[in-house]
Amino acid sequence: MPVTRPCQLSILAALLLLGAALPAGGIPVPLAPVSNAAPTNPARARRQARYLEAETKIRRGAEWALAGKSAAGAKTANMDLYDVLHYDIDLALNPATRQLTGSVTTTARVTGATLTVLDLYLRANMAIGSALSGGSPTTYSRAGDVLSVDLDRTYAAGEQVTVRIDYSGDPEGSAFDWGQHGGQPLIWTLSEPFGARDWWPCKDLNSDKADSVDLHVTVPAGLIVASNGLLVAAVDHGATRTFHWHESHPIATYLVSLAIHPYATFSGWYHYAPGDSMELQYYVVPDRLAQSQAAYAPVPDMLAAFAGGFGEYPFVTEKYGHAHFGWGGGMEHQTLTSLYYGAYSEGVIAHELAHQWWGDLVTCADFHHIWLNEGFATWAEAYWREQNEGMAAYHDEMADAAYWGPGTIYVEDTSSFGAIFDFDLSYQKASWVVHMLRHVLGDADFFAALLAYREQYAYGSATTEQFRDVCEDVSGQDLDVFFQQWIYGEYFPQYRYSWYAAPAGDSTRVSLLVQQVQTAAGLFRMPLDVRVTTDEGVFPFAVQNGELARAYALNVAGMVQQVELDPEHWVLATVTQGTVDAPVLARLRPRLLPAYPNPFNPATTVRFELPAPQEIALRLYDLQGRLVRTLAAGSYGAGPHALPWDGTDDTGRRVASGTYVLRLEAGKTLAASKLTLLK
Range in 52-66, 265-279, 313-327 the model is least confident about: 52-66
Residue 50, pLDDT score: 63
Give per-residue pLDDT as tens, 522-552: 999 999 999 999 999 999 999 999 999 999 9
Give the integer Cα–Cα distance in Å for 45 and 42. 5
pTM given for the model: 0.83
The CATH architecture of the domain made up of 72-262 is Sandwich (2.60)
> What band does 34 get if pLDDT is binned at 50, 70 and 90?
very low
> What band does 328 get if pLDDT is binned at 50, 70 and 90?
confident
- Residue type present at position 158: G
CATH of 589-677, one of 2.60.40.4070, 1.20.140.10, 3.20.20.70, 1.10.3720.10: 2.60.40.4070
**Fold of the domain built from segment(s) 11-68+364-488:** Neutral Protease; domain 2 (1.10.390)
- Please report, for residues 86, 107, 198, 201, 456, the alpha-carbon distance to residue 163 in angstroms, rounded to integers and kept in the order given: 11, 7, 18, 11, 31
Give per-residue pLDDT as tens, 449-506: 999 999 999 999 999 999 999 999 999 999 999 999 999 999 999 999 999 898 988 9
**Fold of the domain built from segment(s) 494-586:** Immunoglobulin-like (2.60.40)
Give per-residue pLDDT as tens, 392-416: 999 999 999 999 999 999 999 999 9
Residue 651, pLDDT score: 95
Nearby residues of 60 by Cβ (< 8 Å), 6 or more positions away = 174, 175, 190, 195, 417
Q: 646, 602 in Cβ contact below 8 A?
A: yes
Nearby residues of 13 by Cβ (< 8 Å), 6 or more positions away = none
Q: 545, 496 in Cβ contact below 8 A?
A: no
Q: 423, 54 in Cβ contact below 8 A?
A: yes
Same fold: 11-68+364-488 with 72-262: no
Q: Is the pLDDT of residue 654 over 90?
A: yes
Residue 441, pLDDT score: 98
Residue 18, pLDDT score: 31
Q: Is the pLDDT of residue 61 over 50?
A: yes
Give the integer Cα–Cα distance in Å for 490 and 661. 44
Give per-residue pLDDT as tens, 112-136: 999 999 999 999 999 999 999 999 9
Q: What is the mean pLDDT of the segment spanning 205-226? A: 98
Range in 34-48, 189-203, 241-255 the model is least confident about: 34-48
Q: What is the mean pLDDT of the segment spanning 236-252? A: 98
Nearby residues of 301 by Cβ (< 8 Å), 6 or more positions away = 388
Residue 190, pLDDT score: 97
Residue 31, pLDDT score: 34
**Domain extent listing, the chain:** 11-68+364-488, 72-262, 494-586, 589-677
Task: Return the number of other C-beta atoms located less than 10 Å from residue 143's C-beta.
Answer: 10
Mean of pLDDT over the chain: 90
Q: Is the pLDDT of residue 247 over 90?
A: yes
Give per-residue pLDDT as tens, 252-310: 999 999 999 999 999 999 999 999 999 999 999 999 999 999 999 999 999 999 999 99
